[in-house]
Structure 1
Amino acid sequence: MNTDIKQAMHVEAAKSFSSAEANENERRWNDDKIDRKNQDSTNNYDKTRMKLNFEIGSDGKIHSLGYHEKPLEVRLQERLTELGWKPFKQDSKIQPNCCARFIFGGNHDRTIEMAFGNQAVNLEKDADNSHLHRCEEIEHWAKDVYDWCTKRYGQENIVGFQVHLDESSPHIHALIVPVGQRTKSGRECVMWSAKFGKNRFEYGQILKEMHTSLYEDVGSKYGLERGDSIDGRNVQHLHKRDYIRKLTKEAKQAEKAIKGLQTMIQKLEAQIYNYQTQLEETDKSLASGQIELREYESRKSEILKQISEYQSKLEDKSNKLHEKEQELELLTKDAANASSVIQPFRNYKVDFTAPQIIEKPPMFGTDKWLERQNKYISNQFTAIVRKIEYLYMKEAASQVETAQRNVLADYGELFQLRRDVKMLAENYDNLKSIFETMLDQMANHSIRSKIFAIADALICGTPISVSSGGGGGNFSSDLRWDGRRPDEEEEEYRRRCLMFAIGTVKKQNEKKSYRKR
């Protein structure tokens, strides 16, 4: 059994779901947007494979991706409204979870095989894979995963179920609303704890059961072994994000070293080929009588010496290249499995000989013989039990030590979260001050008109001079404006234009009040 051929499942709690996330899941992008996304070296959205993406609709049938008229975030809000979802007040520092974001996948080679069979797939950026067609096995797998989600969460609570075949590995995005019943009224409502537990311990237990259930119902049918859970992980005492970042950095360094070694190998091979060519020319010169035998032997000896040296260097670099390639492969696997690291309880195999009677019973003195044999068997059995006890006590102590280290790491993350909360609270105070200033400005008709004029001009990409009023002349802001960013969504860009306009007018008013003094 190849233990690397595993299923993968990642679940993440969400307090909201933005339109940008919905657009990515449903690929509601144009070619320019895709090109801007691919400018990031970590992205590889293959435009020639996007036609192979699909989703499973609320009817349980396969449809082309983005077939639904209503965007994903709108469908989510409608389902939340049906369930009477009422989040906390907007000024609250905490918000409850309203949905779960799932990603289902598995071993890279196996999922590629399910999606494309024996077809040749080029995973390089900007590669042409327009010849590919989608295989039925990936559809069957997706349908089985959908049925598994339906059984656990209810079909009406699966808001989105998109299958992406245009990235490095085929995978599924599922957006699901966790629903439970209130104890008193029995009414259905959004309830994270009903599906994922009331605390971290319950969540860990549920996650283990989910991995097992997914394997039994789906993974085992497609040759995907049970995925590992994150409980008991000891990932170098680093937060998972930091660990993945560390692995990514090391992988990039290994890739750089591999490229350097490949370049050196190419140069060495070129030098060897060059000397082999010289050796052939020397043989021809001897045959044509252009050089004497003594000179030929001297030249040949020198060339063979150079070839031997370069071959030795080539062998050394090839070995180093092989080592680096293995290192890169391990780093890539570790990064891919960083969300599913487990330290299992070791199952020791204890070698022992079963206790047995070693003497024949005598004709006389049977009682003493039985006592002696029982004592011998008892000593053997006790020694075996003590050995097993020692090994498992040792393993248990190791597990406890690992758990303690993980608790310390979790406390470190808790303190980091507290610092983050403090920083967010400070940012909230600043935003509140900005918001109050904005309200004061909007209450003034002339200032409001000026703000919207600047914002409209920025959105349209045309420069504008803002009149300072009163004393005449024009005002040009010294606030920096960098235009629209390559990966910026339309709504976010408009919002930033408005905030810049507000800051511009505010700065202008501050200068005017200063001059009056």
Structure 2
Amino acid sequence: MAKQVMDVRAGAGMTVSQSNEHLRVASNGAYVSRLSNNFDPTRERLNFEIKNGEVTPVDKATSIPRRIETILWQRGIKDPNKELIKKGKDPNRRTVANFILGGSREQMHRLAFGNQVVDLEHGANNSAIKRMPEIENWAKDMYRFMSAQFGEKNIAAFVVHLDETNPHIHCTVLPITKDEKLSWKKVMVGEVDSKFEYQKRMMKLHDEISKINANYGLERGDAIAETGAKHRTTEQYHQELRKELKEQNKRLFDTKIVLDDAIEKNEETIKEQKQTIDSLNKEIKHASARVKGLSTMIEHLETYKEDLEKEIAKLKADRDSGKISAEEAARKMDAITKNLEDVKAQILDKESKLSVAQAKLDSLNAQTSKTETRYQEVKKKLQTALPEYNKNAMQEMEAFGYNLAAFDAMKRMEKYNEMTANMSPDERRILDKYNSVLLDDSIFEQMAENATEITTVATALFLGYLDKATAIAESHGGGGGPGTGWGKKDDEDELAFKRRCMLMAMHMMRPQNKVKRKR
């Protein structure tokens, strides 16, 4: 049976470029070309949104960031990231939950297109493909489920993409509490802010959504087993570990990706893009002020023009009624008419300047969006590449780990020799039989079993990629992260920091509920 998909990522708000991709908004030819590599333009018409529980066309006029701002403004909720930006700091508060809902490709295609055959080759023409009602029913059920879980008024966008390889939903949820405050912790995690509680809540969410997906041929995915070592002998287990370790080390050292130059280039690109964005934001600020100033001046001139026209009408009425002579009326009317023509000329001049200023502002906004997209792409690429492929740091950390393991084994052997020095031969034979207890849970044992994983986590910690380190540890059965405030201390040399990274990596790689082995 086909499997369901539910993924959620935290976000510090949503950028214009993310919104443009969700809503398929393109402001220039280059952006259209880039997007067309990710989706089929001939199927874009099949995309839709769910609003108030009903199917509607995708609303491209209102960006998702603007929708979020409107929701928060109407409900009097402050965005903490805006306060950080005002203080010149990077926004880092988790104010958006980005859900992706879907399932196995074949079943999702059956829901979306029925028996129609979709050509997935790039550039194919699928303009004849029609959207099936089943996908709409599924999307509406998903919308009702998310509304029940997080509140319908907290859903900023619910967009269904049928123009990509696998149909899916992008659901943007604002984590707003019952007392109208943004709080990722209270809404997405619970009162106890821990990864364990978050995982429990997400597992429960998977279970509950599977009850609805079962009606559409999608089932809950199977849990991933930790190792399966209980079905093997200890010797078989260690043989497989040693084999896997050799293979992993071979892959590591045979990797030919050298990123030092690329990393330096990406860092320089990020710096340049950030400077460009800052410069463009300043220009946008000035351009916006000029547009506003010109608009205000035009409004004042239009009001003045209306007043002059009223004066002319009054003069004509006074002349016709005989209140003033025709000569006096003509004299005053000439002066007012001259003033009126001057005002009309000023209005035309200001409107012309306003048109130029507005065009410049639109150009700056488009340029900023393009630069912001490039900045986020390079930044993401650098963040994911550094901890995974920094080969030199990885090799150095691995060598240091093996040195620690050798030193630890030596100390334990010294302890063993001290214990056996005054024993009889029989006592020594008995102790030799059980000498493995000296190595239980030691650095030597840990490095033998998890060398590659431990050194990978230690390298990520050394380079400052704490989320990456935590994710690797958790994916291999470990528990917890390095805690808050992790990093190199001011009075700590590099060697001491590496040692601390290695010890922390081994701590993170230990299972949360490890049961001590009995030998």
- Scaled by the length of structure 1, the TM-score of the pair is 0.44
- Scaled by the length of structure 2, the TM-score of the pair is 0.44
Q: Which has the larger share of helix?
A: 2
